[in-house]
Amino acid sequence: MLTVETRHAVDPASAERMGTQELRGAFHAGGLFRDGEIRLVYTHYDRMMIGGATPAGGALTLDHVAQTGTPGVLDRREMAVVNIGAAGAVAACDETFAMEKGDVVYIGMGAGPVTFSGEGRFYILSAPAHRAIPARLVRLSDAKQIRLGSPEAANERTIYQFIVPEAGPSCQLVVGYTKFEPGSVWNTMPAHLHDRRMEAYLYFDLADDARVFHMMGRPEETRHIVMRNEEAVLSPAWSIHCGAGTGPYTFIWAMAGDNVDYRDVDMVAMETLA
């Protein structure tokens, strides 16, 4: 079963007038992982598409998505798939990639249908592409790792980079995730912007009673959205994106836009936040 929801772009002035439920309706994406289903959110932020495939021991195939306007979803797109669950497999372009939790598969433009199988919980990311790039599996052990933060600032963390130029080519997608050390809860603080790219976050590995307070909005007019386990949030180019959790968590970050330079950010001074 395939379900696709469309999210139109929201400008910053409109977001500042929104209440809690309006903000959630525009930027929050929950319920992505349901047994036996593929559930996607097609956004008008750089045409990024996010979603989940949960085969629950069976197999699910993703092919036609009407919102893309093409016969096959990857006719003019690329895709990254992150397994956040148990062992499973992703098959595309006559290749099958066995995936453990934490592994990432990149699938290039023109690869045809994509099949998800096993007990995995597959987080899907897709953006328009301009050339075909061979599919590849990047295991957690092969990801580029960057350690940042400190216990004193409650932000000691490791950034795992999977789809970045240093690890292999992509057209638009830049994908990785960030995992925190015990006792650290703050992510991406000090905050930043990147006006040339949008971003999407998926928070996972939260306890049932844990929450992440995801911060968004213009630096001088901030808002927040409360996130539960395995929920995603859209971050427009004009919005900051940072957060704090009530306990341990990991988040997947994915970007699409004008370039693939992970370091292309505009820092926001702490005194600017309001």
The answer to whether 241 is a known ligand-binding residue is yes
The answer to whether 44 is a known ligand-binding residue is no
Q: Where are the domains of the chain?
A: 2-272
The answer to whether 130 is a known ligand-binding residue is no
Domain topology for 2-272: Jelly Rolls (2.60.120)
What pLDDT is stored for residue 130 in this prediction? 97
Burial class of residue 131, CB neighbours in 10 A (0-12, 13-18, 19+): exposed
What pLDDT is stored for residue 265 in this prediction? 83
What pLDDT is stored for residue 11 in this prediction? 96
How many Cα atoms sit within 13 Å of 91 on the Cβ side?
10
Segment-wise mean pLDDT, segments of 10 residues, the chain, 274 residues:
97 96 97 98 97 98 97 98 98 96 98 98 98 96 93 94 93 96 91 91 96 96 97 97 94 93 84 91
The answer to whether 8 is a known ligand-binding residue is no
What pLDDT is stored for residue 111 in this prediction? 97
Residue that is written with structure tokens 């199988």 in the block: 117
